[in-house]
């Protein structure tokens, strides 16, 4: 009997506060999530975008064998630091012999 009474009392109090503050709480929650989403989208849009290549040139093996180090540096300046290439998608360090 006591548990039943307490359960009904808790639900009654919950319904009372839901009726009294329900719409305000709902709008506060929605406003909070709108603010957090807008901040996340702003932060995501401010990420620096790299215009460098993600892959190495197709003839990178030949460039390593035939060109000087200065010419290779010019080629690598156009690529990301972790650029990959070749059949096994190796990075520059793995291509070096």
- For 14, the domain range is 1-47
**pLDDT higher than threshold 70 for residue 23:** no
* Domains: count for the chain: 2
Burial class (CB in 10 A: 0-12, 13-18, 19+), 48: exposed
> Is 62 found in the same domain as 30?
no
- Dist. CA 40–CA 38, nearest whole Å: 5
**pLDDT higher than threshold 60 for residue 37:** no
- pTM across the whole model: 0.44
């Amino acid at each position: 009997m006591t548990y039943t009474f307490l359960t009904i009392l808790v639900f009654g109090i919950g319904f009372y506060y839901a009726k009294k503050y329900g719409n305000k709480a709902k709008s506060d929650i929605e406003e909070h999530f709108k603010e957090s989403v807008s901040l996340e989208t702003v932060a995501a849009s401010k990420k620096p975008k790299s215009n460098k290549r993600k892959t190495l040139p197709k003839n990178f093996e030949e460039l390593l064998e035939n060109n000087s180090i200065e010419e290779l540096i010019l080629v690598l300046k156009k690529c990301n630091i972790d650029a990959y290439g070749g059949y096994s998608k190796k990075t520059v360090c793995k291509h070096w012999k």
